Structure 1
Amino acid sequence: MTRHRSLAGVVSQGALAAGLAVIAPESAFAQQAVPTPAAPQAGTGGALRLPEISVQGGTPPNTLRRDTGVDRLPGTVQDTPQNIAVIPAEVLREQNVTTLDQALRNVPGITSSIGEGGGGVSGDQFRIRGFNAQNDLFVDGLRDFGAYTRDAFTYEDVQVLFGPSGFALGGAGTVGGGVNVRSRTPHLGNNYGGTLTGGMGPYWRGTADVNVQVGESSAVRLNLMGQDVRVVDRNDNYSRRWGVAPSVAFGLGTDTTLSIEYLHYEYDQTTDAGIPIITPFNAVGRPATEFGLPRDTWYGTRSDRDRVRVDRLTARLSHRATDWLTLSNDFRTSWVNRDIARSIVNCAGGATIAAFNASCSGQFLRGLNPSVTPGGGGNPYEEDTWGIQNVATATARFNTGPLRHELIGGIDVYHAETDRTGFGAVPTRAAMAIRTPDNDFQFERGAASNFRNTEETQLAFFARDRIWLFPQLSVIGGLRYTRYWLDYTAVTPPAAATNIRESDGFIDPQASLVWEPTPSQTYYFTYSTSTTPAGVNFTTLPGTVNPNVQPERNRSYEIGAKLSLLNNQLGLTAALFRIDKDNALENLDDGTVFQTSDRQRVQGFELGLTGRVLPEWTINARYAFLDSEITGSTTAANVGNRVQYVPRHSASLWTTYEIAASTPYNLTVGGGITWRSGVFLNAANNAEVPHNFSLDALVSHRLTDNIRLSVNGYNLTDRRNYDQFFTNRAVISAGRTVLASLTFSY
């Protein structure tokens, strides 16, 4: 059932011509043009006055003063009436971030899931404000198709847009928010850079970033990456990756700009499905490592692996048609091939004292070494995902009498197909002792045992108008209409095929009131909705495509403030929000049942501080309080419980200080923490992982004008932290790790 498509085939069919894409993004090396809203001038009869342009050298340290990077949200982060957290390039570089997961640890309120059993989805599986965001990952405003672990070697910065973001990002889903990565793209001027990193594990990684101007308004850029890493204190866990990303841009600095980027990325790494949860009799379960299991214990085998190949083509076209009208088009097509097998183990308890003593949990807690059997959910499978998307956007700025308008409208269409073939394991995985698992066991891929194919299409029309009633007061009204089609087939021979077809249409509105008494102050109220039909999140199992349930409906209310202080060098944000979800959809652990009709609420507040306190001192700090509750359920005992995977408190801090910056004795010192409170792993609230705390540090010295030596330390207290979790297991993070890097820049 696997369908093969070549890049040449897609191009020959006119897909590229139909979709040459959007505005070329800014580079960290390029000057930025920051638009400042302006009212109609007196005496002009209400004629249009174009936004003023303030040209600033370099990138503002206050991320509120940066643009959003999304066509559908023109202006700066400060102008936008929703909470947006930005992890800037400076922080990514100082922390030596290598994955999207590592970048998002700077944003409280985001947790990471291992993924379901039953051969379900794994890779980057995030929850934002407690809600599933596995399909809400975007690069340059376009969907990043496929489920896999993403590398950060092409990242300029990472943004999290909180709240239902269907209008801004991508239709169905986006309940708690979406993640948008901005890529490094060509800019005018020449730059040559690279980083070599080595350290504990052992660990080695190399990256290169080369930009060359090839004409008056054209440039090319090349990013390269290679790594071979073993994780500290995680037995036999390794990761080998490499990637290449060439790009070209034309018309830089002119009214018409075209950029084209190609990404090829591969990795081969071990899989880690986590440590089983041990449940003391009539008590709350916790990972076995909390009861004495060594932290390096791993339940994988020599045959468990995760091999991924990604090919992605992105084209972006922007044209300033007139002084008041800008047209843009974003196009992407990508292919993701994944070959994966993993060992998923469980340690069940008993309902009575006698049953508990005889169970896995009971025996373990009595000091014995009971067996755990890997389930069939970790059997090998191969998955091919192909996706294509095109977003055409028009932005018009004009006056009607005394009122100034910013009208945005467009069309968003995408199609994605996933073919998955499941295989048996030969011989069948043997039982393992929970304390001393046999990691040397080997198996081969058996005959194909099941086939699944999903075809998903969305067509959406969106429009939004921002009207300035006064120079300081504006209102925003918008909506997005989405038409959704799903065609799903599952075959497990010799049983008959399961064929499910769904289609639905829904409208999601957005409304905001924005008050900007000065250019450095923004206060807002926003109401928005999003819709999540069954099957929109990676339909790998028949139970996830249920034609008999209504889509989730998600409503968000947010009040916020954004202040730029210290001559706009430091940004302060605060947001108070509430999200209500009706008819909640959740995958159960066995992956075969789709639970519906629950109602959930997450409300709370978020604080942020970003930018430069002193010329030598920068800070990025955030805190989130999430009060979650199951407000309705078919299981009465769960009503009033906290929503699974949602921490009540979480915080992050990263700060650096430069000492004697312009002398040979220069030194940059920095550090920070990431912390979250414990989270429950199920709706019954009888299993949890404890709180996380990681203390990290940086010492950096510029050897010459072009070479810098840096030393990073991670989890310096060597705490048992848990990076990912699911209902019955959790992945323990690396122990204390120290890395050294040499960075070259010319």
Structure 2
Amino acid sequence: MSRYIKSRKHAVAPLAALAASLTLPMAHAAESTAPAAEATTSTASASAAPHLPQVKIEGAAQSAYKAEKSASSKLTQPLLETPKTISVIKKEVLREQGAVSLVEALQNTPGITMQLGENGNTSAGDTFQMRGFSASTSTFVDGIRDLGAVTRDVFNLEQIEVVKGPAGADTGRAASAGYINLITKLPQLDDAIDGSITVGDASRKRASVDVNQKVFDHGAVRLNAVWQDYGVPGRDEVKKKTYGVAPSIAFGLNTPTRFFLYSQHLRQNNRPDGGIPTIGWPGYTAATSTTVTPAQAAAMQAAPKVDTKNFYGSVHDYEDVKADMVTAKLEMDIGQQMTVRNVSRYGRTYMDRMVTGINAITAVNPADLSTWTIARSRQRVNQTNEILANQTSVNATVSTGSLKHDLSTGIELMYESQDNRAYTAAAAPAANLYNPNPNVDLGGSTRNVAGDTSGSTTTTAIYALDTISVTDALKLTAGLRTEHYKVKYSSATTGALSTGKWITSWNLAALYKLSENGTVYAAAANSLTPPGGANSTLSASGQNSTAADAQETKNYEIGTKWDLLNKRLNLTAALYRSENDGQVSVDAVTNVATQSGKTRVQGIELAAVGQITNFWQITAGFQTMDAKALELRSVNNAGVQTTTDGVRWTPKWSATLWNSYQWGDFTIGGGVRHTADQKRIVTVNAAPSTGLGTLPSFTVVDVMGAYRVNKNVTLQLNVTNLLDKQYMSSLNNGGSRLVLGAPRAATLMANIGF
């Protein structure tokens, strides 16, 4: 492939001056420079990244969607030869889709569902399940755990890597579902300026910039920044305001010794959404009770939906987030076969949130809807998460006789803490069900020191991951991680509690290359979630008690991967089965609590990523989930047992598709997302309750069109939910309230690059 290249060098002296004054710089791992280089030579992504050089096609073009290798140093083989289910979502895909948040980005991989929270409360930040298990604490940034109730922005991401299935040997405790690794942008030896300006309905406005500047022979600086003032289509009072900056500097690029210093600083000022009541939606049930008469229940059962724009909180509700992290990374190549790395990070996330939840409906006069009310509850969360981590790792290629070893080994030291300052919110009066007033002042909150909680987890870990090439075609993988964790927790209710022990995680796999472009594999792995291991919270009894054993999740997977069409298109298929053992359950006869409960999720996953032709690109996925709870029982104070046989929020199947086609200076694209029904009620012979028992299936169609005005400017129009499908994106655990997916909405983006 030969290229007609226009110079992108500019006088950016102010940026060089900024580099000299940086004290808290930013950016991403050098391992991700290969995918970035591929994107630079991609014709198909020219409209998505207008500053790219013009390309003359003399051979097969490389895909801007398809990654060849993970950016993680722990995954040493090309993705084609890695015996795991891994989805890589690159920044070019996110730009075409107009995605701005991690939640939007994860819509590109099936099997991930979003959660809303318990009755009266709303989950904060990115809260989701993956393959039927919670993955909210399994988000990593460049291989280091990322904590905090923050809605993550993608402005500083090179790509997102989703690794599915238990992965304790990779990341340590609490990786029951796998993990999501966010790969940040790092300086490169190139001069480039890239930015975008976005406007849309619901008063949405956003601007971002990415500036990279070579400042000397082997050094560069990079600055990413974002500003956003977003409304939410269909929700007049909900607001999302974000601004962030991510500076970085690198020394020794393209030399054996490289040093990166980078940071990210994000601020959010949002008005959170407590959702709307589920009354009137298909499947809604109104049950009689001590407070609901048969006449009221019958009227509620036949009542219409509320206006989907209704806001049941107050304009004085707020969510303020301050998230900061600083990272230093040193890499040294020792000869041609060994690289030593040391990464240190400090991160702190502070969230202060006042949100209004909605609860029971009262049909005051069953014949007059204007008299109906809905109860409200106020919740203030004031939480601080901190993390201090150091990782030292070695990647080496060595031979023992006829065997070749690609080895990744290291030591990880980590301290994590979570402190919650308690507040008691003023009692909120009930709202009119069909005509709530968002301008009402629902009062503030008072400090409740007795309700404060604090927890911390200290981890010391050592790991070794080895891929053994027995022959050119046969590779065996073995991984072992042993770590000592210590959890400390304190509250007025429990007093001071602590627990800790050594735990060991493993993985084993065999992969065979049927040809240069096709592999088959079989893999097994586990992950352990000890008491308090996911959130540094302990209790006197139950799953998080100091006497409880760790839950263990085991995963078994067989699969195949193929690179087709001159290695431009990757196809994968996997059959998996995950089982989580050690959940607290009571004996069917004695009611004695033991850790005999299990959850089992199994299914298939298919994916296609890459190019079908030089100008037609695709990323698609399909997944099934057969989820069951086994021997899982609970008992109430009256001695009545409840048996659970299902798993909440696990659709039987889900699928996602996005593709784009470039025709000269025009690019058109579109996609479809489908998620099957998700059960809320998963207990045997459950008594009727008010609300919805199921989150209904939904299908959403999105489209985009882009026009390259010249080599520096591209205009892009995105329309989400093209068919204006009314659907709920999440439902609370009580079934009484929901959050709607956005109605049809449009954004216009100008991408500018030099």
TM-score tier after normalising by the smaller chain length: 0.7 to 0.9
CA distance in 2, matches of 1:289, 1:198: 41
What amino acid does structure 2 have at the position aligned with 1:295? Answer: T
Alpha-carbon contact 2:91-2:159 (below 8 Å) kept? yes
Shift of 1:512: 0.3
Alpha-carbon contact 1:157-1:183 (below 8 Å) kept? yes
SS at match of 2:396: strand
CA distance in 1, matches of 2:696, 2:253: 50
- Counterparts in 2 of 1:529-548, with a 5 A limit? 529-539=526-536, 545-548=544-547
1:715 counterpart residue number = 721
TM-aligned CA distance change 1:722 to 1:585, over 3 Å: farther
Residue 679 (str. 1) matches residue 678 (str. 2): yes
What amino acid does structure 2 have at the position aligned with 1:134? Answer: S
2:648 counterpart residue number = 644
String of CA shifts for 1:193-215, please: whole Å, max 9, x gaps: 11000010011100011000111
What amino acid does structure 1 have at the position aligned with 2:33? Answer: E
2:698 counterpart residue number = 692
- Counterparts in 2 of 1:260-275, with a 5 A limit? 260-275=261-276
Work out which of the residue numbers 134, 137, 140 in structure 1 matches 2:136. 134
What amino acid does structure 2 have at the position aligned with 1:397? Answer: T
Shift of 1:406: 1.6
- Counterparts in 2 of 1:267-346, with a 5 A limit? 267-278=268-279, 279-281=284-286, 292-346=305-359
1:655 counterpart residue number = 659
TM-aligned CA distance change 1:196 to 1:479, over 3 Å: same
2:13 counterpart residue number = none
SS at match of 1:297: coil
1:103 counterpart residue number = 105
Residue 500 (str. 1) matches residue 497 (str. 2): yes
1:11 counterpart residue number = none
Structure 1 alignment gaps of length 5 or more: 1-15, 34-55, 348-358, 587-593
CA distance in 2, matches of 1:110, 1:312: 26
Alpha-carbon contact 1:606-1:623 (below 8 Å) kept? yes
1:238 counterpart residue number = 239
1:158 counterpart residue number = 160
What amino acid does structure 1 have at the position aligned with 2:646? Answer: R
CA distance in 2, matches of 1:630, 1:365: 43
Alpha-carbon contact 2:479-2:507 (below 8 Å) kept? yes
Shift of 1:474: 1.4
CA distance in 2, matches of 1:345, 1:464: 49
CA distance in 1, matches of 2:31, 2:396: 19
CA distance in 2, matches of 1:555, 1:320: 36
CA distance in 1, matches of 2:98, 2:60: 21
1:389 counterpart residue number = 389
Alpha-carbon contact 1:114-1:273 (below 8 Å) kept? no
Work out which of the residue numbers 502, 510, 515 in structure 1 matches 2:507. 510
SS at match of 2:618: strand
- Counterparts in 2 of 1:168-207, with a 5 A limit? 168=170, 170-207=171-208
1:52 counterpart residue number = none
Alpha-carbon contact 1:24-1:318 (below 8 Å) kept? no
- Counterparts in 2 of 1:598-617, with a 5 A limit? 598-617=597-616
CA distance in 2, matches of 1:316, 1:715: 42
Alpha-carbon contact 2:276-2:308 (below 8 Å) kept? no
SS at match of 2:93: helix
The number of aligned residues is: 674
CA distance in 1, matches of 2:234, 2:747: 15
Shift of 1:116: 4.0
**Range with bigger deviation, 97-106 or 386-395:** 386-395
CA distance in 2, matches of 1:418, 1:128: 24
Alpha-carbon contact 1:64-1:78 (below 8 Å) kept? no
CA distance in 2, matches of 1:218, 1:151: 27
Work out which of the residue numbers 712, 720, 738 in structure 2 matches 1:730. 738
String of CA shifts for 1:307-343, please: whole Å, max 9, x gaps: 0011111222221112222211222211111110111
Alpha-carbon contact 2:256-2:333 (below 8 Å) kept? yes
CA distance in 1, matches of 2:137, 2:353: 19
CA distance in 2, matches of 1:741, 1:458: 44
Shift of 1:722: 2.6
Shift of 1:527: 0.3
CA distance in 1, matches of 2:73, 2:392: 9
Shift of 1:583: 2.4
**Range with bigger deviation, 600-609 or 258-267:** 258-267
Shift of 1:467: 1.5
Alpha-carbon contact 1:27-1:184 (below 8 Å) kept? no
String of CA shifts for 1:40-85, please: whole Å, max 9, x gaps: xxxxxxxxxxxxxxxx999942766522111111132212110001
**Range with bigger deviation, 555-564 or 641-650:** 641-650
String of CA shifts for 1:557-590, please: whole Å, max 9, x gaps: 011111000000001011110000112379xxxx
SS at match of 2:314: coil
What amino acid does structure 2 have at the position aligned with 1:649? Answer: W
CA distance in 1, matches of 2:39, 2:340: 20
TM-score by length of 2: 0.84
Shift of 1:360: 4.4
SS at match of 1:470: coil
String of CA shifts for 1:123-142, please: whole Å, max 9, x gaps: 10111101001110011111
Calculate the aligned-residue CA RMSD, in Å: 3.0
CA distance in 2, matches of 1:113, 1:192: 38
SS at match of 2:104: helix
Alpha-carbon contact 1:21-1:318 (below 8 Å) kept? no
**Range with bigger deviation, 365-374 or 67-76:** 365-374
SS at match of 1:399: strand
Shift of 1:346: 2.1
2:519 counterpart residue number = 522
SS at match of 2:235: coil
String of CA shifts for 1:493-513, please: whole Å, max 9, x gaps: xxx662211112211111001
CA distance in 2, matches of 1:550, 1:366: 55
Alpha-carbon contact 1:27-1:187 (below 8 Å) kept? no
String of CA shifts for 1:696-725, please: whole Å, max 9, x gaps: 000100001110000000011111223333
**Range with bigger deviation, 615-624 or 361-370:** 361-370
2:467 counterpart residue number = 466
2:435 counterpart residue number = 436
TM-aligned CA distance change 1:441 to 1:595, over 3 Å: farther
1:26 counterpart residue number = 33
SS at match of 2:555: strand
What amino acid does structure 2 have at the position aligned with 1:537? Answer: A
What amino acid does structure 1 have at the position aligned with 2:726? Answer: R
CA distance in 2, matches of 1:384, 1:110: 27
**Range with bigger deviation, 245-254 or 274-283:** 274-283
TM-aligned CA distance change 1:120 to 1:679, over 3 Å: closer
Shift of 1:668: 0.7
Shift of 1:381: 2.7
CA distance in 2, matches of 1:276, 1:702: 45
What amino acid does structure 2 have at the position aligned with 1:238? Answer: K
Shift of 1:344: 1.7
SS at match of 1:717: coil
Work out which of the residue numbers 147, 150, 154 in structure 2 matches 1:148. 150
Structure 2 alignment gaps of length 5 or more: 1-23, 41-57, 289-299, 586-592, 636-640, 687-692
What amino acid does structure 2 have at the position aligned with 1:689? Answer: L
CA distance in 1, matches of 2:192, 2:575: 42
Shift of 1:101: 0.3
SS at match of 1:105: helix
What amino acid does structure 2 have at the position aligned with 1:150? Answer: R
